[in-house]
Amino acid sequence: MEPDHLIHVAVVGVGAFGRNHARVYQQLAKEGAPVRLVGVVDSDTSRADAVAREFGCRGFGSVDQLLTTHSEVEAASVAVPTVHHLNTARHLMEGGVDVLIEKPLAGSLAEADELIRIARERVRIAQAGHLERFNPAVRATLPVITRPMFFEVHRLSVFTPRSLDIDVVLDLMIHDLDIVLSFVNSPVREIGAVGLPILSSKVDIANARIEFDSGCVANFTASRVSTELVRKLRFFQPKQYVSLDYGRQDALVFSVGGDGGGAPSVNPQIQVAKLPTVQEEPLHAELKSFLGSVQRRSRPLVDLEDGRRALAVALDIVAAIRDHGSKIKLEQLHR
Ligand SMILES: NC(=O)c1ccc[n+]([C@@H]2O[C@H](COP(=O)([O-])OP(=O)(O)OC[C@H]3O[C@@H](n4cnc5c(N)ncnc54)[C@H](O)[C@@H]3O)[C@@H](O)[C@H]2O)c1
C-alpha cells in the first residue's frame, strides 16, 4: 500500500455504539490519519441517513448497496447486534473488505469458528472489538505483570435498555475476561458462577470464579443494574498489588521491599507508584491500531482467536450460571 494511500472505511450498524465508530473514524481523518469514512450502513435507513449527515458521508440500507456504490471500501467496523455479526462480516469479507467485529465476536462458538475460517480463506485482516486492550491503563500494566495469582474485577453500570438480548456476561463481563485471559496466559481449569435476572429476562448481575492451571484465581463481578459506575481490576502477584481503573485510565502498583521504584505509602515497607499513561479514548486507539494492521497487512493486536477465547469462557460462565440456578431451583428465572 502507498504510504499516502487513504483507507476507505465504512461502519455497518450505526446504533448506540456504531455511531461512535463513525465519529472516531471521522476524528482520525481530521487528525491526518490515512482514512476516509465513505459510508455508514443501517437496516434502519433513517438512522443511517442521520449518522451519515452528522459525519459527512453517505448512508446505505444494506452492505450490498454500500459495496455497489463504493467498491473501493477496504475496511469496515461491524457494529450490528451480535446475532448478525456472522452474516454481516461474511458479506464484507467475501466482498474483499477487512473487518473489525464488535464484541462479543459471535453468538456461538460455531459462528466464531466460521468467522475465523472465512477470514483465513479470504486472507482478510479481521480484528475482534475488545477495546479495553487499548485502554491506556491496560497497556501501561502489561510491562509490570510477573505472575498474577489473584484477581478481583468489578464492572458495574446503571441500567439502560440496551443489549438486553444477551446476558451481562456476554455484554460486560466479557471485556474483563479478555483482559484477564491475556494477562494470565494459562488454560482455564475450573469455573463456578452465579447470576440473576433483575430488570430483564436475561442475567443482569453475575459473579464468576475462574481457576487457571497456573494456580491463579480470578473473581469477576458484572452488573448492569447498579446505582454506580465502577470499572476496576485489581490483582496480586509476588510482592506486588496492582490496582487498575479503566474509567480513570490509571494504574497504581504497590510493591513490598525496596525495588518498587515508587514513593513510600502509609506503611513504610510498601511503596506505591503510578504507572505512566497518556490519556486516549480506547476506541480511538483501537481503530488507529486496526487501520495500521490494514495498512501493513499485519496481525491485529486482538485477533478473532482472542475474540473466540473470551467468548468460549463467557459461554462456559453462562452455562455454569444455569447449572447453579437449576441446582438451587432458580431455573424459572433464567427462562
Ligand atoms: N465495545 C464495546 O464497549 C461495546 C459497547 C456497546 C455495544 N457493543 C457491541 O456493538 C454491537 C452493537 O451494539 P449497540 O449497543 O450499538 O446496538 P444497537 O441496537 O444500538 O445498534 C445496532 C444497529 O444495527 C442496526 N442493524 C440491525 N441489524 C442490521 C443489519 N443486518 N444490517 C445493518 N444494520 C443492522 C440497527 O438498526 C441498529 O441501528 C453489539 O455487538 C454490541 O455487543 C460493544
Integer Cα distance of 299 and 86 in angstroms: 20
* pLDDT tens string 160-219: 877 777 899 999 999 999 999 999 989 999 999 999 999 888 899 999 999 999 999 999
Lowest mean pLDDT among 226-240, 261-275, 277-291: 261-275
Q: What's the one-letter identity of residue 328? A: I
Q: How confident is the model at residue 246 (pLDDT cuts 50, 70, 90)?
A: very high
Pull the grid cell for residue 307.
475474540
Domain ranges of the chain: 7-131+283-302, 133-277+314-325
Q: 45, 127, 132, 163: which to mutate for ligand 1, most atoms within 8 A of CB? A: 163
List, chain by chain if needed, residues with CB within 6 Å of any ligand 1 atom: 12-18, 41-44, 47, 79-82, 84, 88, 102-103, 129, 131, 162-163
Q: What is the structure's pLDDT at 2?
A: 63
Pull the grid cell for residue 235.
490483582
Q: How confident is the model at residue 128 (pLDDT cuts 50, 70, 90)?
A: very high
Report the chain's terminal Cα–Cα distance, integer Å: 51
Is 226 a residue whose pLDDT tops 70? yes
Bridging pattern class, strands 250-256 and 126-129: unpaired
* pLDDT tens string 19-70: 999 999 999 999 999 999 999 999 999 999 999 999 999 999 999 999 999 9
Percent with pLDDT over 70 in the chain = 94
Class of domain 133-277+314-325: alpha beta
Class of domain 7-131+283-302: alpha beta
Compute how many other C-beta atoms are within 10 angstroms of the C-beta atom of residue 323. 14
Cβ–Cβ < 8 Å for 75, 99 = yes
Which atom belonging to ligand 1 lies closest to the Cα atom of 84? Answer: 31
